[in-house]
Each structure stands twice: as C-alpha cells, then as structure tokens.
C-alpha cells in the first residue's frame, strides 16, 4: 500500500551516509555554537574517548578507521541539524547510515541511543565482513532493469552472488557480492556500455544477505531501545515509503542492513508528497547532486547554505 504524509509538506532534511567524512569536520560548528559543542561533548563522554579530536584534528587515515568513521558522520550530522533553528524539516530521510541521524533529528530515538546503534553497527559489521570475501562497486550509465537481468545471468553462469546495495538515481547504482562476482560484473558492464563500473574502497558487502548475522545482532540492540512517535515523518531506506509509527520504523531499521537502499524511490516519493526543498545535512553535496539530477527544478541546498551559517566556513572551500 502506498503511504503519503497526511499534511502539507514543503522541505526535507536529507542525511548522507558513510563516505562524507572529511578532515576537520565539525570544528567550526564546535567553535561557534554552544548547541553543537554540547552534542560533541556528549558523544565524547558516551564513547569514553574524544571522537571530536579525531574529527577536528585527526588524519584522513584515522577518520577511515571503522571505529571512527560511522560515529563521526553521525555526530556531525546531528550537531549540524540541531544547531540551527531557521528551518525545521517537514520530513526527513537518510541514505544508509544517514537514517540513524535522521531518526535522532525527528525525535524517534535519543542521541545516545542513536550513537550506541551506530557504534555497534560499525563494529558488528566489521566482524561479519571479515568472514567473507566480498566487495562493492559503482555502476553508472546503464538502466537498472538491464543491470538486474545481467547480474542474474552472471550468477547463473558463475555461481557468484551479486546484489543491489544502493539505488542512487536513474542509471546510478551500487552493487555488492563476492569479490569474484563484482570483478566479473564490472568487466561485463564496462564492455556493455557503462560510463563507469568500478570497485569501491569499501571492505564488506553492506545492504545484502551477507549481513544477516549483523542484522540479528544489531536487531537485539534495536529492540531494546525506546522508539517514540516522531515529530515529523521519515522516508526509510528499505521500502522508500513514509513512516510515523514507531513500531514500523523500528522493524524497518532492523532489516536496514540486509536490504537495498532505495534512494531513487525515496526521492521520488518525497516529491510525490509535495517536497520542493531539499536540505542536505552533511559535509558535502553528495545527495544534492543525486536529487538535482532527478529534479533540476527543485530547490536543493546544503543546510550550511542558509543565512544562519554565513559566519562559518563550509567544507566546499567557500
């Protein structure tokens, strides 16, 4: 059944996932806004170490460490969203890891519970990924239906499993599976006209059946957390539909790690429901580019672009 929000919507906050981490992320927020400083210090206290020091002054290599990457992205996004009050979202949506920050910002879960989930997500996933020889790859320039047919054919020919991890926009997907399967798929897609078919520097097979053990372990933690009625709805990755019921949101989050990220459909559904302004809550313009390609007539910005943040530097070099 297609769901729609039951009130007029205009803007959405969209939260990117892993990969948007940058050296120095959050330092300007910490130095200029007490609300951000409180969030960073709460994270430091909860983690028992100063993740803020890694974010502000650590190297790219340190930020890439599993124990740092996902908490850093999560903390930054929550701090950025919570710092400003000029714009409040009518709806929220997160791409993969970004869904956890979105759930904090819309009041479904507490900041500490979100941080605990993100930390465990990183550690559990790393352990599960070490049990398999898997990989991920970006494929650009081929129709989704064509890729679906070909990965099925490649599986039948080779026995190597391949899955869709992310649908990032028309003709833009991320596939995942065995290392051999991904190599075979990339080689085939390049020959068949893909603009790009390249492995990603990511160890593991996120958003695939390979993560079933992680789903079970993380699911236990998710079930132990209180999910409240959100102040605004969220479009979730697993089905791309809008949700306000805490039980539905919790159940979708449990299966989040083994299911594809339906970002293409999430954006379409937000526009279907009246969203005309998209504000990316992140360090760069990753999601903005995806949305703008699909809907060039919509207002697509970074939250850092609004006047409230004119007195701090952005991560675009402005």
DSSP code of residue 212 = H
Catalytic-residue membership of 152: no
Check residue 124 and give left, alpha or beta (phi > 0: left; psi -120 to 50: alpha): alpha
H runs (alpha helix) in 18-110? 27-32, 34-47, 51-57, 60-64, 66-83, 98-105
In the set 95, 207, 243, 256, the catalytic residue is: 207
Give the SS3 label for residue 262: coil
In degrees to the nearest 10, what's the CA dihedral of 122, 57, 303, 80?
A: 70
Integer CA distances (angstroms), 249 to 102, 252, 294, in order = 12, 5, 26
Can you tell me the distance from the alpha carbon of 123 to that of 66, in angstroms, rounded to the nearest whole number? 7
Distance in Å from the first CA to the final CA of the chain? 44
- Contact, 174 vs 138, CB < 8 A? yes
CA distance 136 to 257: 14
How far is 27 from 37, CA to CA, in rounded Å?
9
Instruction: For residue 244, indicate whether it is catalytic.
Output: no
Catalytic residue among 96, 205, 260, 302: 96
Closest CA to 228 of 89, 118, 112, 109: 109
Q: Give the active site residues.
A: 96, 207
């Amino acid at each position: 059944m297609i769901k729609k929000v039951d009130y007029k919507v205009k803007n959405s906050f969209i939260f990117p996932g892993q990969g948007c981490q940058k050296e120095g992320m959050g330092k300007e927020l910490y130095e200029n806004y007490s609300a951000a400083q409180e969030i960073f210090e709460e994270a430091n206290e909860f983690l028992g170490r100063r993740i803020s020091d890694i974010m502000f002054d650590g190297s790219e290599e340190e930020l890439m460490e599993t124990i740092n990457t996902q908490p850093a992205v999560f903390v930054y996004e929550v701090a950025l969203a919570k710092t400003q009050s000029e714009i409040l979202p009518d709806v929220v949506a997160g791409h993969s890891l970004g869904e956890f920050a979105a759930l904090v910002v819309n009041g479904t879960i507490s900041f500490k519970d979100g941080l605990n989930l993100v930390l465990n997500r990183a550690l559990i996933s790393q352990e599960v990924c070490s049990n398999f020889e898997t990989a991920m790859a970006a494929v650009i320039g081929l129709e989704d239906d064509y890729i679906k047919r070909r990965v099925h054919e490649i599986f039948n020919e080779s026995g190597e499993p391949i899955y869709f991890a992310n649908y990032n926009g028309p003709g833009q997907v991320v596939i995942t599976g065995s290392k051999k399967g991904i190599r075979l798929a990339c080689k085939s897609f390049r020959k068949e006209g893909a603009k790009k078919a390249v492995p990603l520097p990511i160890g593991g097979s996120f958003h695939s059946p390979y993560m079933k053990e992680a789903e079970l372990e993380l699911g236990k933690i998710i079930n132990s957390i209180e999910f409240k009625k959100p102040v605004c709805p969220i479009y979730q990755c697993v089905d791309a539909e809008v949700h306000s019921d805490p039980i539905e949101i919790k159940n979708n989050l449990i299966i989040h790690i083994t299911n594809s990220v339906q970002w293409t459909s999430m954006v379409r559904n937000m526009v279907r429901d009246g969203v005309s302004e998209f504000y990316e809550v992140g360090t760069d313009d990753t999601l903005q580019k995806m949305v703008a390609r699909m809907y060039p007539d919509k207002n697509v910005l970074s939250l850092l672009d609004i006047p409230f943040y004119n007195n701090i530097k952005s991560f675009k070099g402005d």
